[in-house]
Amino acid sequence: MSYDPMYRPGVPLASYPPPLGPMVDPFPPSVEEWPRRRGPSMGGVIAVSVVTALLAGAVGGWLGAQAWQSTRPGIPLGAPAPAESSPAQDQAAAALPGVPSAGVDYAAIVEQVTPSVVSISVVGGNEEGSGSGFVIRPNGYILTNSHVVVAADPDGEVTVSTSDGQKLPARIVGRNASYDLAVLKVEATGLPVVTIGDSTALRVGDAAIAFGSPLGLTGTVTTGIISALNRPVTAGDGGDETSFVSALQTDAAINPGNSGGPLVDASGAVVGVNSAIATLGATVGSIGLGFAIPIHVAERIAEEIIATGRAATPVIGVSVDQTFDGPGARIEEVFPDSPAATAGLRSGEIIASLNGRAVNGAVELIVAIRENAPGDTVTLVVEREGVGRTVQLELAAKEE
């Protein structure tokens, strides 16, 4: 059964902090296993679109290590971030010490961003759903979360509502569940596009503004700060729709229905895709712990989907021992003909870091790998019985 990412009574939530295993960096996908162990009962992480079960009547409710910008002519993801500072940036720079959002002109940002934000309605099978998205190309391409539209893939219906009241039928161009991203296409021209920011330049404490349609309340805007960077988050029930994200954490209120909407910075440039929230038990709603997919991650996936209808997930070709408590991630199996096998990795070795970033468990290894793209060369520090060595390998691609 495919993963239904929305909370429903009786359906367990994905855990947060994320489970340590079993983790499989799938190579090949046929031997893939996903984390199934639940975390502390106090809470979880869920995706944040809204789903209604028609029969039951129940309501419910991550790539390149650097910004990846397509150089192909004619297919920019969105308008480039301004080279010179905007009035909002100037005001933010003059903010009071320790209060980074004090000088942000929120009204100007809302006026700038809102025309590019859309509400998304989905009907598929026994479910209706809703979420958010934003226009990335003027000829009708829209970025959202995979879990927002999964119920409509392949035979359901998707409708996009623009800020000026248009309701447009949309088709799913492609999805990548591992990154929880999808691209939609509507037949329209001249749509206002967002400005793409630089999520790699964010600092903890920077202003963050979330747009979307929580609980169907279109045109909702909430504010906060970037609370943490590179937060390893996994959401899902252990099936094919499970996503692993090195997320931006924010205290801007994010609620069911915000999924797929933009998280923007003090200049109004998009730095993330709102995707998940931490919860306390069965309480579904903002507790100040929201998570967004960094835009430098989403950018590569969106470009690939637009170009080919699909996007690849990078893999190294190992499974990891679920019982290992760390630090590091212990290799359980190296798959034949994989990058790991070519690089000489062996069962029992511990992956201590990737590209200089310490690995403290299975999920951290997955999200560190997925910050890169297939074909990238990564550097691993691998240890056995306290003796370390450095290896380099080229990431392979798992097509989705």
15 is catalytic: no
Nearest alpha carbon to residue 118 among 166, 81, 181, 152: 166
Query: What gap in Å lies between CA 226 and CA 97, rounded to an integer?
Result: 16
Query: What gap in Å lies between CA 380 and CA 400, rounded to an integer?
Result: 25
DSSP conformation class of 37: -
Query: What gap in Å lies between CA 6 and CA 155, rounded to an integer?
Result: 20
Identified catalytic residue from 259, 267, 275, 338: 259
**Which residue in this structure is represented by tokens 């390893």?**
232
Identified catalytic residue from 49, 132, 146, 147: 147
376 is catalytic: no
**Which residue in this structure is represented by tokens 């879990």?**
147
286 is catalytic: no
At 200, phi and psi to the nearest 5?
-75, -15
On the 0-12 / 13-18 / 19+ scale of CB atoms within 10 A, 123 is middle
The Cβ-side half-sphere exposure at 38, using a 13 Å CA radius, reads 12
Query: What gap in Å lies between CA 297 and CA 56, rounded to an integer?
Result: 36
Q: Tell me how far CA of residue 142 lies from CA of 135, 145, 222, in angstroms.
A: 4, 10, 21
- CA of residue 265 relative to chain centroid, distance: 17
Identified catalytic residue from 4, 105, 180, 206: 180
Nearest alpha carbon to residue 243 among 133, 153, 359, 363: 363
Catalytic residue positions? 147, 180, 259
